[in-house]
Amino acid sequence: MTKALFSILLFATTIAATAQVKGRVTDENGESLPGANVYIKDTYDGATTDLDGLFSFITAENGEQIIVISFIGFEPFEQKIDVSKPVGMNVQLKEIVNRLSGVTITAGSFEASDKKKATVLKPLDIAMTAGATADISGALNKLPGTTTNGETGRLFVRGGTANETQAFIDGVLVHNFYSASPNNVPSRSRFSPFLFKGTFFSAGGYSAEYGQALSSVLALSSNDIPDETRTDLSFMTVGTDVSHTQKWENGSIYGQVQYTDLNPYNNIIKQDIDWEDGFSSTNGTFMLRQRLSKNDMLKVYANYDRSSFILNRPSVNDFNTDHIDLVNKNGYFNTSYRLAIGSHSTGFIGLSYGATTEDILLNEMEVKVSQDSYHAKTYFTSDISNVTLKVGGEIIGTDEDEDVTLADDSKEMSDYSNTLVAGFTELDYYVTNGVTLRAGLRYSHYSIFDENTLSPRLSMAFKTGEDAQISAAYGKFHQLPTRDLLIRSHQMSYERADHYMISYQKIRNGYTFRSEIYHKEYNDLVKYDPADRFNPTVYLNSGEGYARGIDIFWRDTKTIKNVDYWVSYSYMDTKRDHRDYLSLARPTFAAGHNVSLVYKQFISSIKTQVGASYSFNSGRPYNDPNAEKFNGSRTKNYSDLSFNFAYIYKQNVILYVSATNLLGRNNVFGYEFEDEAGIDDFYESRPITQPAKRFLFVGLFITLTRDQAKNNLENL
C-alpha cells in the first residue's frame, strides 16, 4: 500500500520530461472542426482546436496515456498514445446520429410544447386563442385541415367525422372527450387547456402507438409537478371554481371544484332556444403527481361531472314543441407511470376508466344510456445508437347499454360489448441527422366481430436546409364503428382509412411556414337503409369515400413587435357514401375552403393582451329532399370574427373578456327537414343556427400564493 503510494507520488512529482502532442481534428468529410477539446484523460493537459482544426500542446505526462477528443454533436474519440515521444495525429470525428439529434417527422402533425425545439405552437396558444374561449378543440379548429362545425363544437379533420378523432391524456384513452349538449348546440371539451404542458395534434399518418382513429389523434401531456403551492379562484359569467395545488419536494396534489350554471347568462343574453333550465354542471377534479425515484413519474387524474339541462324546441314535423330533459353523469380516471431505465430506455404503464350514464327524456320517451370503458396500455422504448424501438400492447374494453321506454311503457333494450386487444411496434431509424425513417405495425383483435386487423404505418423526414424539412407519411387505420351503429347491429365489421401525405416545413427565428398535400381513402364504411334501421342485417360495410386537399399555415411572431399572428388555409375535396347516404356525396360536415386568421398582441402600457380571430368556411352541403341531387344544396358561407383580452390588474388578479361573432352574422350550419312531405309534396325546413348570435364570457381570476408574488396569466 505504502509502496504503491510512494511510487505514485514519485511518478507525479519527479518526472519533468515533456512531449508535444499535435494534430488536426476534422469531420468525416475532412472539414476542420474548430473548438474541439483535445486532452490527456484525467489530466489538465490539452488544447482547443483552432479554425483549421489544428491543436498542439505539451504534456508532462509520460508513457502510455489515453487521448480524448470531444466536441458537441460528435461521438467522443479515445485512443491510447505513448507520450514519451512527440505525437502527431489526424482524427476524424463521427457525427452523433440518434433520436435527439435526428430530424423529427412532422407530416400530418402540429405540436404545442415548451420542451422541444421548432414546434409550431406553444401551450398557451391553445388557451389564448380568440374565439376558442379556452376550449382545446375550439383552438385546434383554427389550424389547417379542420372544418369548423359550429353546431357541434367538435373536431372534424380532413373529411372525417368527429368520431374519427381519438383523444389521449398521457398516452391513455379519453372515453368521453366532450361535454353533454343538446342536438345542434356546441359542446366543449371536458378538459381545461391549463392542465396540459403539451398538445400533439395529428391530422393523419400518425404512429402505430395510436389506433381506433380513422382521421386524427389528439395526444395531451398533463403538467408535471408545479413550481409552487397555490390556490386559484375564478368568478365567471357562467359559474365559479376553486382549486388548490399543494406541492412538496417530489410531488403535488391538485383539487378543484367547479360549478357552472348558464341560467343567469341565458336570462340576460337572448337565446334562440327556449331553455326551461339551462346547462348546469357540478364538477370535481383530483390530480396527483409523485416521483418515486429520480427517474420516474406517477400521474393520477380523476374527475366526476354531473350536468343537466331542460329545453323545449319547436318540432319541424308538427306544431308541437319537443321537450328534452337530459342528465349526464361522467366519471373519468386516468393514471400513468413512466420510468426511465438507464439513460436509453423508458417503460410506460397506463390505465384509464370511464363511466357515463345519460338519462334523456324526449317528450314521452325515456332513453337511458350507460357506458363503461377501460384502457390498459404498456410500452417499452429503447434507443440503440441511431435506432429507437418501441414495443407495446393495449386492451380497450367497452360495454354499453341503451334502454328505451316508449310512451306506452313498452321497452326496447339494446347493448354491445367489445374487447379490443392490440399490439404495436415501431422502429425509428436515424440514417443521418438529415434523414429519419419510421416503420410501424399495429395488430388488433376485435372480440365483437372476432376479427383481426394489421395496420402498417410508414413515414420519413428529409432535411432540406438548416431549418427546413420535407416529410411524408403513409398508413392504414382501422376503427370500430361508432356506438350508435354498434347498439343496433353486431353484424358489421371495422371501418378503414388509408392516408398518404407529403409536407414541407420551415421554421426560422419567429417565422413558420408549412404546407401539406394529402390523399385519404375510406373503405368498409358502414351503410344501412334508414327505412329499416332497427333491422341488424341491413348494416353492411359497403360504404367508401375519399378526401384530398392542401393545407397551408404561416405564422409570424417577429415582423411586428409584440404581435403574433397566424394564417391557415385549407382546400378540401371530399366525398363519401356512408350511413344512410343515398350515393357518394360531399358530407354535410365538410367545407371546401377553410380560412383562419389568429392575431395576438401584448400592449404593455395597458398591461393587456388582446387577441382576435377570423374564421371563414365556404358553404357546407345539406340534403334538401325537395331537390333532385343528394346532399346537393349548400349553406351560405360561414364566418366569425371573435375578440378577447386579458387585463393583468395585479400579478395575481386577471380580468379576461371574450366575445364571439362580433359582426353578429347569422351563420347557418344546415337545415332540418320534415320527415314526410306536406300535401303540396313539399318538405318544410328550418335552419340550424347558433343558439345565440354571440357568446360573451367575462372571468375574474385570482391566484393566492404564500408570497403573493406570482403571475396568474397562465391560469386564464
Of 496, 501, 457, which Cα lies nearest the Cα of 158?
501
Task: Please tell me whether residue 274 binds other proteins under the rule CB under 8 A.
Answer: no
Site pattern 97..136 for other proteins (x: CB under 8 A): -----------------x--x----xxx------------
Q: Which is nearer to other proteins, 464 or 557 (CB)?
A: 557
Contacting residue, 26, 37, 231, 432, with other proteins by CB under 8 A: 37
* β-strand partners of 537: none
Q: How many CB atoms lie within 10 A of CB 709?
A: 9
Q: How far apart are CA 589 and CA 620, in angstroms?
A: 7
Residues 451-490, one symbol each (x = binds other proteins by CB under 8 A, - = not), give ----------------------------------------
Question: Nearest to residue 168, comparing CAs of 204, 132, 209?
Answer: 209
Q: Are the beta carbons of 389 and 424 closer than 8 angstroms?
A: no
Residue 319 CB coordination number (10 Å): 6
Q: What string marks each residue from 606 to 645 as x (binds other proteins by CB under 8 A) or -? A: -x--------------------------------------
Q: Which is nearer to other proteins, 44 or 319 (CB)?
A: 44
Residue 97 CB, nearest approach to other proteins (Å):
18
Q: Where does this chain touch other proteins (CB under 8 A) — which range of 2-10, 138-146, 298-306, 329-337?
A: 2-10
Q: Which of 215, 80, 231, 200 is nearest to 158 (CA)?
A: 215
Residue 710 within binding range of other proteins, rule CB under 8 A: yes
Name which of 606 and 663 has its Cβ closer to other proteins. Answer: 606
Answer yes or no whether residue 537 interacts with other proteins by CB under 8 A: no
- One of 249, 450, 676, 707 touching other proteins (CB under 8 A): 707
Closest separation in Å from C-beta 56 to other proteins: 13
Judged by beta carbon, residue 71 or residue 379, the one nearer other proteins is 71
602 binds other proteins (CB under 8 A): yes
Residues 49-68 vs other proteins: string with x where CB under 8 A? -------------------x
What number of chain residues touch other proteins (CB under 8 A)? 47
Residue (225 or 552) nearer to other proteins, CB: 225
Q: Minimum CB separation from other proteins for residue 556, in Å?
A: 13
Dig out the grid coordinates for 582 from the structure: 343515398
**What DSSP element (H or E) covers 124?**
helix 123-127
**Cell 373536431 -> residue:** 155
Q: What is the 3-class SS of 641-702, one letter each residue? A: EEEEEEEEEECCEEEEEEECCCCCCCCEEEEEECCCCCCCCCCCEEEEECCCCCCEEEEEEE
Which residue, 263 or 601, has its beta carbon nearer to other proteins? 601
Which one, of 175, 163, 164, lies nearest residue 352 by Cα? 175
Sheet holding 87-92, edge to edge: 54-59, 19-26, 87-92
Q: What is the maximum alpha-carbon separation in the chain?
A: 116
User: Using CA atoms, how far apart are residues 493 and 480, in angstroms rounded to an integer?
Assistant: 7
Residue 48 interacts with other proteins (CB under 8 A): yes or no: yes
Q: Which residues contact 210 (CB under 8 A, 6 or more apart)?
A: 166, 168, 202, 217, 219
Angle at 636 between CA 631 and CA 637, to 5 degrees: 110
Complex with other proteins: residue 122 or 344, whichever CB lies closer? 122
Q: Binder to other proteins among 14, 44, 268, 681 (CB under 8 A)?
A: 44
For other proteins, the closer of residues 508 and 686 by Cβ is 508
State in angstroms the smallest separation of the CB of 370 from other proteins: 40
First-to-last C-alpha distance (Å) of the chain: 67
Contact between 39 and other proteins by CB under 8 A: the answer reads yes
- How many other C-beta atoms lie within 10 A of the C-beta of residue 308? 17
Which residue, 109, 219, 229, 228, is CA-closest to 171? 219
Shortest distance, CB of residue 42 to other proteins, whole angstroms?
5
Q: Which amino acid is at 671?
A: Y
Judged by CB under 8 A, which of 42, 82, 272, 484 binds other proteins? 42
651 near other proteins (CB under 8 A): yes
Piece of 3-11, 342-350, 548-556, 620-628 that binds other proteins (CB under 8 A): 3-11
Q: Which of 75, 111, 228, 556 binds other proteins (CB under 8 A)?
A: 228
Scanning 39-47, 350-358, 496-504, 664-672 for contacts with other proteins by CB under 8 A, the matching segment is 39-47
Identify residues 492-531 at the interface with other proteins (CB under 8 A). 508-509
Q: Which helix (H) or strand (E) holds 396?
A: strand 387-405
If one counts every other C-beta atom within 10 angstroms of the C-beta of residue 249, the result is 7
- Window 564-583: residues binding other proteins (CB under 8 A): 564
Looking only at residues 67 through 86 of this chain, which bind other proteins when binding is defined by CB under 8 A? Answer: 68, 70, 72
Q: Which three cell numbers stand for residue 565?
A: 399572428
Can you give the binding site for other proteins, defined by CB under 8 A?
A: 1-2, 5-6, 9, 12-13, 34-35, 37, 39, 41-48, 68, 70, 72, 114, 117, 122-124, 226-228, 508-509, 557, 562, 564, 602, 604, 607, 648, 650-651, 707, 709-711, 713-714
